[in-house]
Structure formats: C-alpha cells, structure tokens
Structure 1
Amino acid sequence: MDAFKVEDLGYNGVATDVAPNGSDGGAKQPEQNTSPGRARNELKVELPSSCDPPGPNNPPKQLVWIIFGATGHIGRSLTSCALRHNDLVVAVGQTHVNTPASMKNWHPNCLGTLCDVRSRTTVEAVITKTIAHFGRIDLIANCSGTAIIGACEDQDEHEIRNQIETNFMGTLNILQLSLPYFREQAHGRYLIFSSTSGALGVPGLGPYCASKYAVEGLIEALLYEVDAFNIKATLVEPGLVRRDDPDQPEREKIVGTGLPLYGHFLIKPASEPYSSPTSPAQHYKRMVQWLGDRQPTSVVKSAELVWQLGHCSFPPLRLLLGSFAVESIRDRLRCVIEEGEDWRELNWPSDESPGAGDDKDEKEDPERDEEADDDVKVEAAHS
C-alpha cells in the first residue's frame, strides 16, 4: 500500500506529491527551482474580485498607454509589464536626464519620447504624438517625480519649488491637457503615482510630502468633476519598493540599466542642528541607506498590479502597494480618528449630551409652548 501523500507547494509554485518521512511514495517529483527570486516571480498577484480584474470573465483588450517617468524606478517596470501583456506604450523619459537616442528601439509596440512635465508645451507634444502614432489614448500613468531627503529648514527655495512643480504641477499639467481628449472620446483613465508620503508626514521629506498631499487632494476632487464623462482615476501609493527583481534580466534589456540607488530621491547634507545620528530629520536617509535594495515590496509585482488596474472594470480610488504602505497609512488614519474622538464633545458641556441644552430651553420657555398650542388650534379651526 502506498504511503499517504500530501501536496507541498515548492519554491517554484508547483504542487508536487510528497510522502511523509522523505519517501517518494512511488511518485516521481518534478525538479524544483529553489531560487527565492523564481518563487517571487511565479506567485500570482491579482487585484480583488470587487475590481473585476482582467481574466477569463474580463478578457483584457489592447490598450494605448502613456507612461510619464518611464525611465524611473517603477515607471520602467510598468512599461515592461504593459509591453509583455501586448499593450501599446508611449514611454516618456525625462528631458534633462535621458537622450532621444536612449528612448529608441525599446520594443516594436513602444514609442519612446522625452518630456519635462513642468512644461505644458512638452506635455502637450507627447499627447499629440501619441494620437498621431497610435490613433488614440486609453490611459495615462504618471510615474514622474522628484524628492529631496533633508530637513525642511535645510531645503532651499529652488529645491522646494522643483518638488512642487514636478510632483504637483506636473500632474496638473498632464490632467488639464489630456482631459479635453478624454471627454471627447467619453472614456479615459489616470493612474497617478502618489506615495505613502501623500498620506502621512515623513521626517526628512517635508516638501515632498506636501507635494504628494496636494496630488491626493487634486485627484479626489477631480473624480467628482469627471465621473459623468466616464473618466476614472486611481492614486497608486507604493511603500518601500525594490528597484528591480534580479531574476528578470529581460526587463533590463527592454528598458535599459543604470538606475541610481535611491531612484528619484536626492540626499542633501544636513546642517549642524540636524546632523546628529539620531536626528528625526535624518530618519528617511537612515532608512533608505539601511534598506538599500532590500525593500520588502517587489517592483515587478507592483507593476503587474498596476497593469491590472489599467484593465479592471471598477478601479479603486487608491491602490496601496506593499504591507508597509497598508500598515503605515492605516496607523495614520487610526490616529486621526482617535484624535477626532478627543474633540468630539468639545462644543458641549461635559455634563450634558448634545441636544440636551435645546430640550432645557424648551422646558423653560412656557410662552413659546403656548404660542405653539394656539397655532395648532387655529389650524384645526380652519380645517
């Protein structure tokens, strides 16, 4: 009699027959790849069913993407993911970082171009070029951004304005210049990359947080305004995302190499008051330097979820990527709710519940009660 067999989910994500005590139970086991990177790649990630993600019940159609910031941290993985799924992509690099030659020959389904999102002229040129090349635009993802790591006091006016101009005004430029086209075709979708720093203040990222808070408010307001035109938008809030999966070299071939260690974050030397090793203003610098490329959230899986977001039927207002994003934003919201409860009774005497004062006034005003009775009698007489 064969030994009792159980299913074991190996590193390669394949269910294999394994008998207790290490015996094979007469079954031949397939060779397993124990690479953790391989395991990460083959584990399935999917949006919740409430979003109606692409699948057998919602077959994905070929969409035309514009991806601003396509040469950056998450942008290039999203570009690669969309191309792998046979979508058509306009990959937009940065005018002051990339070159026209570096944006060519990425993929047969990809058109590379350059843009500075702070300049409305260059944003408009990207939109015009996309329509001329692919005939339409289905969705726009804005992955562009910049940040300075440093105390609020240490950042000069130029650095602060550049973060606001890039992160907030750049997003606004994209929205204002593409909305007329989306309204005319009666559909469109925006995937706007915010950050966990758009939901909570992070020491060392003050102006960056301010720019992302502004983006969050902008998109929330915009959704009410454009819902009647069948235009959707989602805020993507990543948290501590690894730059690239090392087991995906084909992604490097498609979208190039050479990302800086901290992506779009620039570290500014601290002034003397904020230079101590334990200074709160140095918090984010310490964190990114300690993590390096060991961030807990996979950029490859994040890109896959964002691609599904572009194809799902019911996109959410926010997509939180990674446990750090979920837990930190949840804790922040819990603090806001608890603080609100502290002030809920502020406008009422401590020994009275809301509305008690109104009842007391009514009891202490017999003349008002008599007037009300007279009104009732008059109405009864007329009836």
Structure 2
Amino acid sequence: MAQRTWLITGISSGFGRHMTEQLLERGDHVAGTVRNLHAADDLKAAYGDRLWIANLDVTDTPAVHAVVDQAFEQLGRIDVVVSNAGYGLIGAAEELTDEQIIHQINTNLVGSIQLVRAALPYLRAQGGGRIIQLSTVGGQAAFPGGSLYHATKWGIEGFAEAVMQEVAPFNIGVTIVEPGGARTNFRHHSLKLGPRMEAYDISPAAGARRIAEDKTAVSMGDPAKMAKIMIDSVDQHPAPKRIALGSDSYQAIHRALTGRLAELEAQRELAFSTDFPKGQ
C-alpha cells in the first residue's frame, strides 16, 4: 500500500476526523484544516509531523487559496484533496434568513468550488491526483425542510460531475460521496435551524425540524466503515464517479432516480415534438 499525502478540510469532527485518524494510523500524511486550531491537538500530539494543520474558514475565498498554496508548497506533493467541510441548514425556504442562506451557500457550495479550483493547478502540474467531494443522499434526493442544504449539495454534485470530465485528460480523478445518516456528531453540532414560523407547523418541512431537534435519534451508518471506503476508493482506477454509503442513502437515491426516469420517459413524445422537422 503506497503512502500518500492528503488535504482534508474540516478534520475536527465527522468524516474528516475519521478519515484523518485512519490515514495517520496507517502511515499517511494529512494536511488538515480546522476552524479552531486546538481541535486537533490530540492528533498532533500523537502523530507529530505527519499531520500539518491550518486554520481555515472555507467561506473566506482568499484564505482557501492561501492555505492550499501553503500546503502544496510546504508538503511538495498532495495526492488526494478531500472537500469535506460543511454543515446542514434546516427549515422551510420561507423560514430561513437571508444571512443563513448566504452562509450555507458560501460554505457548502462556494467553499467547495474554490477549494477544487485552488488545488487543480497543482494537481495538473504534478501529473495527476484525486479529488473526493463529500455530498450526501441529499445530493440526489430532496426532502422538505432541507431546500437550501439540497441547493448546495445538488449544486456541488453538478460542479463535480462537470469537473471530472474537464480534468480527466490530466490524470485527475473526481469522486462524489453520498453518505446517508451516520453516527457522527453532525446531527448535534453541524445542523442549524431557521427561525420557526407557525404557519409551517402543518407543512412536511416541520418533520425535518423535529428530526434535527431530536438529540436521541441514532443513525444506522457506521462512519468508520464509510471513511475506509472513501479512502480505499483512491486505489480504484478509474475513479468511481459516485459512491452511495448506507442503506438509507441507496434506497432514497434509488427511489428518486427511478421516479425521475419514469417521469422523463412519459414526456418523450412531448420533448421530441418541439424539434424542427428533420431537414429544416
């Protein structure tokens, strides 16, 4: 197993933390970003120079580019870039504040886009590499109460799918990861709620709020197993375009895709009817 150097955003918790722990344990090097430098003190104490840490808020575009520049310049080569940092915003579209909407988009969508843009010149120059973009089951299936979260995840999936085609000639692979619920602290620390409007108590969107507020719920997904699959995907050639993780993710995405396909196929004649006749 070849040793690699990884750049991972958001290593203080969740999948970023699980991946970092597994990678350091097996002997790889990790350049990790956190918003609180002390959040990785235990890892730094245990693994020393194999963990490079930088403070980063991915909503700060100049800082994203500066940290990526520093990581590549100081570490020489980075084999895998993992765009992991993000959070969920819950509430009906009308309930959310303008500030919440902007911050959600700047974190999950713009931050991820700028991370990839900052890394691509280095990956091209070194002759290749991998990009792993963390998405979610909510990047393919949509649920009431998650409209802005879905907007960012559907958006970043479209971006990543286009980029994977753009950079294929440079030996750069891109993989989108779509986990379902996992036993991380995402539900407790990475979900934000919009202000409640009583009018939406009768809306399906209220269900998402209740789920987010229920601190006793336990997800089925094992984050350590999921992190290992993400890590192992780098050994697959070509890079898998998408990886669904968790039975809930598979089932929800399967329902969403088959439903959309059925609706599309029912419109075939209508779609073709809008073309000019052949030869004209």
> What's the TM-score, normalizing by structure 2?
0.90
Instruction: Look up the match of 1:272.
Output: 198
**3-state SS of 2:32 partner:** strand
- Pick the aligned partner of 2:168 from 189, 210, 227: 227
Match status 1:314 vs 2:251: no
Matching of residue 177 in structure 1 with residue 177 in structure 2: no
May I ask how many residue pairs the two structures share in their alignment?
271
Change (3 A) 1:291 1:335: farther
Of 196, 200, 224 in structure 1, the residue corresponding to residue 137 of structure 2 is 196
Conservation of the 8 A alpha-carbon contact between 2:100 and 2:194: no
**How big is the shift at 1:86?**
1.1
Counterpart position of 1:126: 67
Q: Distance in 1 between the 2:209 and 2:19 partners?
A: 26
CA displacement at 1:267 relative to structure 2? 2.3
Q: Does 1:343 align with 2:267?
A: yes
Structure 1 residue 72 displacement after superposition: 2.9
Q: Deviations over 1:92-128 (max 9, x none)?
A: 112xxx1x34444242221122111122222123223
Match of 2:227 in 1: 303
> In structure 1, which of residues 168, 172, 186 is the aligned counterpart of residue 109 of structure 2?
168
Q: Which has the higher helix share?
A: 2
Identity, in percent, stands at 30
Q: Which residue identity does 2:137 align to in structure 1?
A: T
- 1:220 deviation in Å? 0.8
Q: Is 1:236 equivalent to 2:162 in the alignment?
A: no
1:86 and 1:202 map into 2 onto residues whose CA distance is: 40
Confirm or deny: 8 A CA contact 1:75 1:143 kept in the other structure.
Answer: yes
What amino acid sits opposite 1:270 in the alignment? Answer: R
Q: Distance in 1 between matches of 2:75 and 2:175?
A: 24
Matches within 5 A, 1:138-177: 138-177=79-118
Kindly indicate whether residue 208 of structure 2 is the aligned counterpart of residue 284 of structure 1.
Answer: yes
Q: Partners of 2:216 and 2:262 in 1: how far apart?
A: 35
SS of equivalent residue, structure 1 residue 266: strand
Dislocated runs of 4+, deviation >6 Å: none
Match of 1:65 in 2: 6
In 2, the alpha carbon distance for the partners of 1:158 and 1:147 equals 14
Code of the residue aligned with 2:90 in structure 1: it is I
Does the 8 Å CA contact 1:241/1:295 hold for their aligned counterparts? yes
Is the contact between residue 72 and residue 143 of structure 1 (CA under 8 Å) also seen in structure 2? no
- Which residue of 1 is the match for residue 30 of structure 2? 89
Shift of residue 261 of structure 1?
A: 4.7
Question: For the residues of structure 2 that align with 1:137 and 1:260, how far apart are their CA atoms?
Answer: 27
Gaps of 5+ in 1: 1-59, 244-258, 350-356, 359-383
2:133 is the alignment partner of 1:209: no
Q: Check the 8 A contact 1:148/1:208 in 2, yes or no.
A: yes
Unpaired stretches in structure 2, ≥5 consecutive residues: none
Query: By how many angstroms is 1:291 displaced?
Result: 7.5
Deviation at 1:293, TM superposition (A): 5.1
Q: What's the counterpart of residue 48 of structure 1?
A: none
* Range that drifts further, 122-131 or 202-211: 122-131
| 2:51 matched residue in structure 1 | 110
Q: 2:268 aligns to what SS in structure 1?
A: coil
1:267-320 superposed Cα distances (whole Å, 9 cap, x missing partner): 2342010124xx301222333455745201100101111111133333210011
Cα drift, residue 90 of structure 1:
1.1
CA distance in 1 between partners of 2:187 and 2:138 (Å): 19
Aligned residue in 2 for 1:77: 18
Give the aligned residue type for 2:193: I
State whether residues 68 and 141 of structure 1, in contact with CA within 8 Å, keep that contact through their aligned partners in structure 2: yes
Query: Highest relative contact order (Cα 8 Å, sep 6+), 1 or 2?
Result: 2
Alpha-carbon deviations, 1:39-87, whole Å to 9, x = none?
Answer: xxxxxxxxxxxxxxxxxxxxx2110001101113211111111112211
CA distance in 2: counterparts of 1:90 and 1:203, whole angstroms: 36
User: Alignment partner of 1:116: what SS?
Assistant: coil
Residues 323 and 102 of structure 1, relative CA distance in 2, 3 Å threshold: closer
Amino acid at match of 1:206: S
Alpha-carbon contact 2:139-2:153 (below 8 Å) kept: yes
Q: How does 1:348-359 map to 2 (within 5 A)?
A: none
Q: Counterpart of 1:3?
A: none
The one-letter code of the counterpart of 2:89 is I
CA distance in 2, matches of 1:262, 1:68: 19
Question: Retained in 2: the 8 A contact 1:149–1:204?
Answer: yes
Coordinate RMSD, CA, aligned: 2.1
